Amino acid sequence: MGRINKDLPPLAYLVAFEAAARYQSFTIAADELCITQAAVSRQIRLLEDNLGCELFNRSHKAVTLTADGRRFQRSVTAALELLSASASELKVKHSTSTVTVCADLSIASLWLIPKLPLFRMAHPQIIVHVDASDDDTRHISDGADAAIQFGDGHWPDCNARFLLEEEIFLVCSPAYLASISPLNTPADLLDATLIHCESEHWDWMDWSSWLAHKNVPLPPGRQDLFISNYPAVIQAALGGQGIALGWRHLVDDLLASGALVRPIAASVQSRRGFYLVHPSNRLLSKEAHTFCEWAIDQCTAQPPG
C-alpha cells in the first residue's frame, strides 16, 4: 500500500485531467467540475510535474493530448469508471431503500425472481438485491435483511416465518414422456432416465429417498444423469433428457404452461418447507418489512401440519 501512496497522484488532479482529456478543453472541463479554468490548468500542470512528462500540447486557442497523454487517459478513465461503479454499488447496497434477500439458486431462479416484477410494480421506490447461492452459511451471516430458506423452520438466532409446504412429484417434458414405455407405478421409473441433483449444499429430498417412500429401492450403478444444481436439473428435464423431482411452487408455472408434465400422479410430502428467515438480533427496516409481508402474501399454503 505504501508503494501505491508513493506513486499515485492526487485524485483531484486525475479527475481534472480526465475531464480535460475527454473534452480537449480546460474551459469545458472547468464548467463540468464547477471550478475555474485556472484551477483546472494548475491541477494538470501539477499532475505533469508529478509524472515528469507533458500530457497536453498547448497552443493559444486549443489543447491536445500528447502521445503520453493519450496512453494515460485510457488508464485514468478506466480506473475512475471502476471506482465510480464500485462506489455506486456500495451506495445502492447500503441505501435505506435497498433490501438484500438471500436464497438458494433454485428458490431464487424458479420462485422469487419470476415474482419480483410484481413487487417492483407495487413498490418502485425499494431496490431488491438478490443474493443467490447454494452456500447456506452465507444466508443472513453477511448482513442480508432476510433469506428464503428450505428446512424445518429452526435456525439459530433467527426468526422464521412459514411460506410454502414441501410436496415433491415427478416432472418431465411431454416429448420425453411420449418416447418411453408407459409409466403406471413408481416401480416403472426404474426403466427411465432419472435426473439427479448432486449439489454439496443441497439437502433436499433425492431420488433414493423419494423412491423409498414408495417402497421402491434404487439399484446402484444406474446410467442416470447427474447435475450439480437444481435449476440446471429442471433445464435438463425441459430439454427431454429424463425425469426430475419437481417441487410444488417451484415448477407450477412450467406445469401450467405445458412445458413440463407429471408422468404419474404420485407425490411425497414432509414436514419441511420454505421459510422466510431474518436475524432475531436486529429489527427489520421499513423496506425489509414491506418485502417480507409481500413475500408472505404471495404464498397461500398453510403451514405443514
**Distance of alpha carbon 206 from alpha carbon 277, whole angstroms:** 24
**pLDDT per residue as tens digits for the range 222-279:** 999 999 889 999 999 999 999 999 999 999 999 999 999 999 999 999 888 899 998 8
pLDDT of 202: 63
pLDDT at residue 1, as a whole number? 47
Within 8 A by CB and 6+ apart from 284, the residues are: 145, 146, 278, 292
pLDDT given at position 186: 93
Examine the pLDDT at 38 and tell me if it is beyond 50: yes
Listed ranges 101-115, 142-156, 189-203; the one with the highest mean pLDDT: 101-115
Q: What is the rounded distance in angstroms from the CA atom of residue 282 to the CA atom of residue 209? A: 38
Structure confidence at residue 198 as a pLDDT band (50, 70, 90) = confident
Burial of 38 (0-12, 13-18, 19+ CB in 10 A): exposed
- Rounded to whole angstroms, how far apart are CA atoms 169 and 137? 28
| Contact between 105 and 229 (Cβ < 8 Å) | yes
Burial degree of 251 (CB within 10 A; 0-12, 13-18, 19+): buried
Tell me how far apart the alpha carbons of residues 24 and 19 are, in angstroms, rounded to a whole number.
8
Q: How confident is the model at residue 53 (pLDDT cuts 50, 70, 90)?
A: very high
For residue 111, the 8-state DSSP code is: I
- Asked which of 132-136, 209-213, 256-260 is least confident by mean pLDDT, the reply is 132-136
> What band does 59 get if pLDDT is binned at 50, 70 and 90?
confident
- Mean pLDDT over each residue of the chain, to the nearest integer: 88
Q: Is the dihedral of CA 118, 120, 121, 126 positive or negative?
A: positive
Domains and CATH numbers, the chain: 2-93 (1.10.10.10), 98-164+272-297 (3.40.190.10), 166-270 (3.40.190.10)
Q: How far is CA 61 from CA 22, 26, 29, 57, in A?
A: 17, 11, 15, 11
Say how far apart CA 255 and CA 248 lie, in whole Å.
10
Report the C-alpha gap between 76 and 71 in whole angstroms. Answer: 9
Q: How would residue 43 be classed by pLDDT, with cut points 50, 70 and 90?
A: very high
**Interior CA angle at 180 toward 177 and 184, to 5°?**
75
Average pLDDT over residues 19-30: 93
Judged against a pLDDT cut of 60, whether residue 305 lies above it is answered with no
Pairing of strands 225-227, 146-151: unpaired
Q: Cell triple for residue 107?
A: 428458490
Taking residues 115-141, report their average pLDDT.
Answer: 81
pLDDT over 50 at 303, yes or no: no
* Average pLDDT for 4-23: 87
